[in-house]
Structure 1
Amino acid sequence: MAKQLRAEQTRTTIIEAAAQMFDRQGFGSTSLSDIVARGGITKGALYFHFASKEALARAVIARQHQLSVNAAERLLARGLPGLETVLRTPFLLAEQVLTDPVARAGVRLTLEGGTLRNPVDGPYEEWTGVLAEQLRRGVRELDVRPAVDPDACARFVLSAFIGVQTVAQVLESPGHLPARLQEMWEVLIPGLALPRRCAHHRDLAARLADRLARSAAVAGVAPAPSPAPLPGPLPVPSAVPSPAPWPTTAAVAVGGVV
């Protein structure tokens, strides 16, 4: 029994060390030697538990997925209204990403699926199913517009969360994620909720964003910088200039938005 416990502890140490390195460097830039050094283990111990770096990456993804499943089960057990459950889900996942390196690494590895021989898509399919079922509940509870396609909206909500999280991490900083999720819901709520329920769900999104920011700060994630103060009033021009002409078709073709 003691030997089995030590083996499980070693396996956990390896997974956590791998998660920290994958989170920091990505799958391609992390070597098994990096993981061995980070975990303070031997290569023999690593190979006893994992035959390859890809097997280890899949173990990290599986651990991250289990963390999210556990959190989802706790959320669903609360019996909240369907749309409220959908609204809370991205904040729940974001809290794991901001505070747990295993969750962060699992998400990064899933997004870098092209580096694995067989990309992992199971977690996304499961989350889409959960969100779709909650949206159907929201329709029955008279919170969600009856014309909404639950499956299409579930896919879009999950895709929007992944995009917001990626942009916050790559182009801004993780500390921007709470505010960006609130912005996401400001855009989505009017299209999902019946008009009489929009204000309630906007308020809930604002409160969840504030709580997420506080959780991230406790975990050591630097908050997003405050916006720069607006400049003073601009001088009124003596004459209003003529508007610039619209760009020609050729100019749009060269410099248009991709």
Structure 2
Amino acid sequence: MVQQERARLTREKILLGAADVIRRVGYAKASLGQISETSGVTRGALYFHFGSKLDIAAALVDEQHRITREASEMILATDASALELMMHLCLDLAQRLVADPIVRAGVRLTSDTSTFDSPIGDPFRDWIETFGALATRAQDNGETTATVPPDMAARFIIPAFTGVQLVSDTLTGREDLPGRVREMWEILVRALVAAENLATALQMLDDVFTAPGSDEEAMR
């Protein structure tokens, strides 16, 4: 049991070290020697857990998927409205991209064409499907108008979030990401919500992004 825990901790150290190296130099320039040194483990220990740099990248992506999936499931289990759930999902991922090195690395590797033989599309498809269902529920419940079809809204929201976080990463290292995601959602709310419901929806937006513990609250 002690040996299993030690192995788990070593594997975790390797993934955190790899995440840090990839953040600094990118996947293509990252070397196993850099990952070993940054992780504080021997090359032998690294090879015990992972056979190659590609194996480490795949493990980072898998771990990022697990973290974000479990977080999403917790959010979706709440009794918030569909529109509010979409805001919470975006804010949660934004905060994890700021604070969680595994999530940062996994998202970067997913969109980095130098990592795998073909792009990883499943995460994007999963998010689009989830947001499509939520957008449909929001429209059915009268939270949004029928002006924009739910599937079209979902196909826009996910790429929009992806673009916002990439630009934020380039310009500020994602320091301003929660605020930029809030701006994205203000545009979406003004486009999707009927005029008579707009004030309520904008108040909901403020409540989500200024809740205790949110980065947006800290920025104000």
Aligned to 2:91: 91
Aligned to 1:181: 181
1:174-198 Cα distance to aligned partner (Å, 9 max, x none) = 2221221122112111222232222
Aligned to 1:213: 215
* Structure 1 position 7, deviation (Å): 1.7
* Structure 1 position 173, deviation (Å): 4.2
Aligned to 1:169: 169
Summarize the Cα distance change of 1:81–1:173 in structure 2 as closer, same or farther, 3 Å threshold: same
Where in structure 1 do 4 or more consecutive aligned residues deviate above 4 Å?
Answer: none
Distance between the aligned counterparts of 1:168 and 1:189, measured in 2?
21
TM-score of the aligned structures, taking structure 2 as reference length: 0.91
Aligned to 1:123: 123
The 3-state SS of whatever aligns with 1:41 is coil
Are the aligned partners of 2:179 and 2:216 in contact in 1 as well (CA < 8 Å)? no
* Structure 1 position 111, deviation (Å): 1.8
Are the aligned partners of 1:168 and 1:177 in contact in 2 as well (CA < 8 Å)? yes
Structure 1 unaligned blocks of 5 or more: 218-222, 227-258
Structure 2 unaligned blocks of 5 or more: none
Are the aligned partners of 1:175 and 1:213 in contact in 2 as well (CA < 8 Å)? no
Q: Which amino acid aligns with 1:105?
A: A
* Structure 1 position 98, deviation (Å): 0.8
* Structure 1 position 83, deviation (Å): 1.3
Are the aligned partners of 1:185 and 1:202 in contact in 2 as well (CA < 8 Å)? no
Aligned to 2:61: 61
Q: CA-atom RMSD, angstroms?
A: 1.9
Distance between the aligned counterparts of 1:73 and 1:121, measured in 2?
20
User: What is the number of residues matched between the two proteins?
Assistant: 218
Q: Compare 189-198 and 42-51 and name the one that shifted more.
A: 189-198
* Structure 1 position 156, deviation (Å): 0.8
The 3-state SS of whatever aligns with 1:171 is helix
Distance between the aligned counterparts of 2:21 and 2:201, measured in 1?
38
Distance between the aligned counterparts of 1:198 and 1:29, measured in 2?
48
Are the aligned partners of 1:113 and 1:120 in contact in 2 as well (CA < 8 Å)? no
* Structure 1 position 70, deviation (Å): 0.9
Summarize the Cα distance change of 1:45–1:173 in structure 2 as closer, same or farther, 3 Å threshold: closer
Task: Compare CA radii of gyration and give the structure with the larger one.
Answer: 1
Percent identity, aligned pairs only? 34
* Structure 1 position 57, deviation (Å): 0.7
Aligned to 1:240: none
Alignment of 1:1-258 (within 5 A): 1-211=1-211, 212-213=214-215
Are the aligned partners of 1:76 and 1:85 in contact in 2 as well (CA < 8 Å)? yes
More helix by share: 2
* Structure 1 position 15, deviation (Å): 1.1
